[in-house]
Chain A
């Protein structure tokens, strides 16, 4: 699933190919000049949104924060009455919804600096900490820097497989990957713990890039965060419920599980459905602004849905727009999506999008296919 970005000008090219590619200014059938023109037109969209950020956007994020906190308070309160099944179900659902909002629409986006322009120290990328075992500082490094800079570059973007899955034909097959579907199921179930450990970049210790000693402070920070998160959800709140310890414990665990499964599904649908392109390290050489934009567009995939669905994905359903402009306020992605899509159409680029069930089905199919060695599994599906 790696793109050849070097094709004769004007020839429409299916962006999905299985062979390694070469660095080139010519991408997906576009001339170098066209790629830079595309970049300037995307810059113009960004400039327009930046210039129009204002009180309405501030009101939006304040309102999401308020709703999330009320949901959390309400959910935890209902769980105290969790011996009654309707209260348990409603409380768990509210807590799960609150955790999803907190992680995705708030935590992820605030830590991207989407709201730094408000200069509110309470809603700022340098001060935000989220309800997740991964400490903010480590997350910002692996996500904001590594993933968003080297998006979909096999070997550089550690979100390609999280170091434990085979998510690309470019990753050489090993017998370990026979467990690909199982490893994925485990990652989805324990997603927040997986993300926290992911930040350690343990594979760099194996390869000698990092020393064990150098990760000790990081390990301590992660351990401290994990302990606090664990204590809150699995000790303190259940204990406060006294005789209803177990229903609260079960509700909190279920809410965390739902959040894990949901965020894992949304995140994997961002870059691994059919049509999303992966890249090789050589393609990074001398990459221009326009080429960077192009890589973000080709490497990301959107999800179709209504306003509530978009909110519950933290607007990562606009993954393409988010990867083009990771620091624009998330509530503005819906507004610019039609323009980005029109640009894609104009330049003959695929704008990958689809409903969640379809996109996630494709992701799972790819995970299963890549579990097997290439000669057994066959080629990836060509462009749709």
Chain B
């Protein structure tokens, strides 16, 4: 049946015509439509998105990659899903970053009706099954978003301790709902940052609880140190901006037959995309390996560590690798 339809639409696909009626009918691209926009704080907005039928759902705590057109250009970013498991729609809650092109666009300039591109939900920062009887959630800033998905999914779980931090009272995302769920919200601007040593007072049985921590790198590092003897109880989600290396050497990298000059601080992915090369990409933070390309020759530099590495045939993560002299990468065959 599909083949017969393709004979009518070749060289295009039936969906290229069906998308005129509803873009969500695409089968080659998972798309979603923004159906509601909710202001959370001065800097944060929740977008309710109705995904196409190919959406397979998510587990509380997982993230989604979302492709957004900003000033005509497609950008992909990763955001935690903030809504409960199940249901027809998904939600993301985005907090604008000062120089964040995409986050500011999503927070301030994304009206209802906008079409976005999606990838299936992913991530291991999820509740185990069955749900543990005692839980501890420690979050800061926008790190609340995956945990809010868990709290909303848990409903009236009898024993969840939530310690959330935000700089000011105005900046607390989900403030009313957190209060209603009995969360302890700390305003770090007045009270300073949470010292995990306080846990012995605030949550004396923290060692017995399954702990979920999401926030800035400093909090995650502190938690990893604090739980050193109970690491099996600790679950962390790291959301850090793309790694930059001011000291990168830069060089010239061939993507297929396209030669691109790569500045020292730029990732191969950014440099390639800026030059118009269509590259696979993923989380842009070095964790999902969606962006890997096989290295044909030369070497690359890990922007996070400065390590120079690479053997022919290695799969290079282009989002966190920079140039060091010349290298050639093979593009995926389409």
Q: Residues of A at under 8 Å CB distance from B? A: 53-59, 66, 69-70, 73, 113, 116-122, 124, 126-127, 129-131, 225, 228-229, 231-232, 236-237, 240, 327
Pairwise interchain contact A116-B276, C-beta atoms closer than 8 A? yes
Give bound CA distance, A73 to B9, whole Å.
10
B10–A229 CB distance below 8 A:
yes
Pick the contact of A231: B7, B20, B73, B75 (CB < 8 A).
Answer: B7
How many A-B pairs have beta carbons closer than 8 Å: the answer is 64
The closest CB in chain A to the CB of B281 belongs to: A119
Interface pair B273/A119, CB less than 8 Å apart:
yes
Residue B199, interface by CB 8 Å: no
A118 to B69, CA, bound (A): 8
Q: Across the interface, do A117 and B278 meet the contact criterion of CB distance under 8 Å?
A: no
Contact pick for B334, options A116, A126, A236, CB 8 Å: A126
B65-92 interface mask toward A, CB cutoff 8 Å, 1 = contact, 0 = none? Answer: 0000101111100000000000000000
Give me 6 A-to-B residue pairs in the complex whose CB atoms sit less than 8 angstroms apart, sorted by A's number.
A58-B71, A66-B20, A119-B73, A225-B11, A232-B7, A232-B10
Q: Does B16 contact A (CB under 8 A)?
A: yes
CB-defined interface of B9-34 with A at 8 Å, one 1/0 digit per residue? 01110001100100000000100000
Q: A120 — which chain B residues lie within 8 A by C-beta?
A: 69, 74
CB <8 Å contact, A117 and B276: yes
- Residues of chain B lying within 8 A (CB to CB) of residue A236: 7-8
Indicate whether A118 sits within 8 Å of B74 (C-beta atoms), given known contacts A66-B20, A113-B276, A127-B278.
yes
Give the docked Cα–Cα distance between A58 and B71 (Å).
8
* Smallest CB-CB A-B distances: 4 pairs: A58-B72, A129-B11, A119-B74, A116-B276
B26 (CB) vs chain A CBs: closest residue? A122
* A327 / chain B contacts, CB cutoff of 8 Å: 276
CB contact between A69 and one of B10, B20, B73, B278 (< 8 Å): that residue? B20
Residues of A within 8 A of B278 (CB): 116, 119, 121, 124, 126-127
> Shortest Cβ distance from B34 into chain A, in angstroms?
17
Closest to B11 in A: A129
Q: Is B17 a contact partner of A228 (Cβ separation < 8 A)?
A: no
Closest chain A CB from B104 CB (angstroms):
15
Inside 8 A of B273's CB, which chain A residues have their CB? 119
Q: A131 to nearest B CB, angstroms?
A: 6
On whether the beta carbons of B20 and A70 are closer than 8 Å, the reply is: yes
Say whether, besides A70-B20, A119-B278, A232-B10, A55 and B29 are in contact (CB < 8 Å): no
Q: Considering the complex, give the chain B residue whose CB is closest to the CB of A58.
A: B72
Interface centre among A57, A121, A131 (most CB of B within 10 A): A121
Contacts of A73 in B (CB 8 A): 17, 20
Total interface residues in chain B, CB < 8 Å: 19
Q: Which single residue of chain B is at the shortest CB-CB distance from A128?
A: B11
In the complex, chain A residues whose CB is within 8 Å of the CB of B71: 54-55, 58
Whether B69 contacts A69 by the Cβ 8 Å rule is no
Task: Choose among A55, A69, A124, A228 the residue that contacts B7 (Cβ–Cβ < 8 A).
Answer: A228
With a cutoff of 8 Å between Cβ atoms, the chain B residues found around residue A58 in the complex are: 69, 71-73
A232 to B8 Cα, complex, angstroms: 6
User: What 0/1 pattern do residues 149 to 167 of B give for CB contact below 8 A with A?
Assistant: 0000000000000000000
Q: A54 touching B72 by the CB < 8 A rule?
A: yes
Additional A-B contacts beyond A232-B10, A240-B8 (13; CB < 8 A): A54-B71, A58-B73, A66-B20, A69-B20, A73-B17, A122-B29, A126-B278, A129-B11, A129-B12, A225-B11, A236-B7, A236-B8, A327-B276
User: Which residue of B has the minimal Cβ distance to A236?
Assistant: B7
Interface residue from B10, B16, B75, B334 paired with A228 (Cβ < 8 Å): B10
Bound: A227/B8 CA distance, A: 13
**Interchain CA distance A130-B273 in the complex, whole Å:** 24
Q: Which residue of chain B has the shortest Cβ distance to A124 in the bound complex?
A: B278
Question: B70 — nearest CB in chain A belongs to which residue?
Answer: A55
Q: Which of B11, B20, B71, B75 lies at the interface centre, i.e. has the most chain A CB atoms within 10 A of its CB?
A: B11
Q: Which residues of A contact B11 (CB under 8 A)?
A: 129-131, 225, 228
A289 to B46 alpha-carbon distance, docked (Å): 50
- With a cutoff of 8 Å between Cβ atoms, the chain B residues found around residue A131 in the complex are 11
Nearest CB of chain B from residue A326's CB, rounded to whole Å: 13
- Which residue of B10, B75, B273, B334 has the most chain A CB atoms within 10 A of its CB atom? B10
Q: With both chains docked as a complex, state the minimum distance between the C-beta of A255 and any C-beta of chain B, in angstroms.
A: 15
Residues of chain B contacted by A237 (CB below 8 angstroms): 8
Closest to B256 in A: A126
Residues of B within 8 A of A225 (CB): 11
Q: Which among B10, B17, B72, B73 has the greatest number of chain A C-beta atoms within 10 A?
A: B72
Q: A237 to B9: give the CA distance in the assembly, Å.
A: 10
Closest to A113 in B: B276
A70: chain B residues within 8 A (beta carbon):
20
Q: Which A residue's beta carbon lies closest to that of B71?
A: A54
Measured CA separation A127–B17 after assembly (Å): 17
Query: A residues within 8 A CB of B20?
Result: 66, 69-70, 73
